[in-house]
Amino acid sequence: MATDIPQPTDSAVRAALATVNDPEIHRPITDLGMVKSVEIAQDGSVTVGIYLTVQGCPMRETIHSSVVTAVRSVPGVSEVHVELDVMSDAQRKELATTLRGGQAEREVPFAQPGSLTRVYCVASGKGGVGKSSVTVNLAAALAARGQKVGVVDADIYGHSVPRMLGTDGRPTQVENMIMPPSAHGVKVISIGMFTPGNAPVVWRGPMLHRALQQFLADVYWGDLDVLLLDLPPGTGDIAISVAQLVPNAEILVVTTPQQAAAEVAERAGSIAVQTHQKIVGVVENMSGLPCPHCDEMVDVFGSGGGQRVADGLTKTTGAEVPVLGSIPIDVRLREGGDEGKPVVLSDPDSPAGAALLKIADALGGRQRGLSGLSLGITPRNKF
């Protein structure tokens, strides 16, 4: 007895295509104007035309396979063919306008009324205290908790975030918008993605400001819950530019236990008094070395530096600055940074992993405080 095979319909095929997200923009291709055509033959074969945003799109194979899988699931489809085309200049401009939600170009979405994205500037007084390691692991931990997270590698001269997150992807440009690559569920942008090899960046202040402005305004971040900025050490041009571009950003100070590092870290955090920013807390890194033969902690770099910084900043700012956590010395934290596998994901039960997860939970559970509300910051941004 013959079985009637249903004929696939145009609406059913387009409904299936609506389940396919662009891998860079993370929105349905049907919403982005990427579906060029749908043709259904009598034998049930379907030919779908797809617009790529740019020629040589790095995600073309991913899009192709996702479209085939989605359309093949429609009852009655016998075969799927995908024809890839490229958007015209006019179509790209229309897409950019759609993604910006009608906002003007060059605006930083996180500083606009309507943004609920929490912005944290991870700062330190000295280099080498593990600021980037803290940034990367907090980002990965928050993303693993289900939050939408982005990282700006604002340490232009000493960029290291892409390696630590394990991404070697290159940003894609659509008109004047930059689509950031992602790793471990974290969107990331870094000047290292635009420089050849390990070439140094030799820029003065105005160029640093311009680069940071582009990272904040020209990158399509989408609807973020948290944005982390890995700042260069000290209180130089980038720290001042961040205060100008994202005045509602809060500062997270990273230090190590020794007195010399604590004094410089307190100095770096004190910039909040001049920039009218809030200090969310202090993280003490390299707080001690767990003895491999007993339960004792060896204070390789001394002790108490994090609390000294917190006490000093509380006195300077007149607002309570807590110590959010202390991270012990752990070889797995270093290995994770070298291998692009954050320890909070690769070994969350390790001493460093557990400490970082606790700090991430403290940050992830925060709501924007009165300082943010006084700036008129309410619902989350729509970029």
DSSP state of 21: B
CB-based contacts of 155, cutoff 8 Å, min separation 6: 132, 161, 230, 231, 232, 238
Token pair listed for 114: 């309507």
State the Cα–Cα distance between residues 102 and 224, nearest whole angstrom: 18
State the Cα–Cα distance between residues 251 and 281, nearest whole angstrom: 7
* 44 known member of a binding site: no
The residue to which tokens 């707080």 are assigned:
287
Token pair listed for 186: 């974290």
* 125 known member of a binding site: yes
Asked if residues 227 and 117 have their Cβ atoms less than 8 Å apart, the reply is: yes
State the Cα–Cα distance between residues 127 and 129, nearest whole angstrom: 6
- 3-state SS of 163-217 is HHHCCCCCCEEECCEEECCEECCEEEEEHHHCCCCCCCCCCCHHHHHHHHHHHHH
* 131 known member of a binding site: yes
Task: Please choose, from the candidates 327, 336, 317, the residue with its C-alpha nearest in 3D space to the C-alpha of residue 272.
Answer: 317
Task: Sort strands 35-40 and 172-174 into parallel, antiparallel or unpaired.
Answer: unpaired
Task: Sort strands 172-174 and 177-179 into parallel, antiparallel or unpaired.
Answer: antiparallel
Q: CB neighbours (10 Å) of residue 144?
A: 18
CA 108 to chain centre: 15
* 269 known member of a binding site: no
* 126 known member of a binding site: yes
Residue 194 Cα distances to 24, 142, 172, 173, angstroms = 17, 27, 11, 12
DSSP state of 23: T
Cα three-residue angle 350-352-358, rounded to 5 degrees: 100
Asked if residues 224 and 149 have their Cβ atoms less than 8 Å apart, the reply is: yes
* 128 known member of a binding site: yes
Q: List beta partners, residue 325.
A: 283
| Residue 228 phi, psi (nearest 5) | -110, 130
Write out the binding residues for ATP: 125-132
Write out the binding residues: 125-132
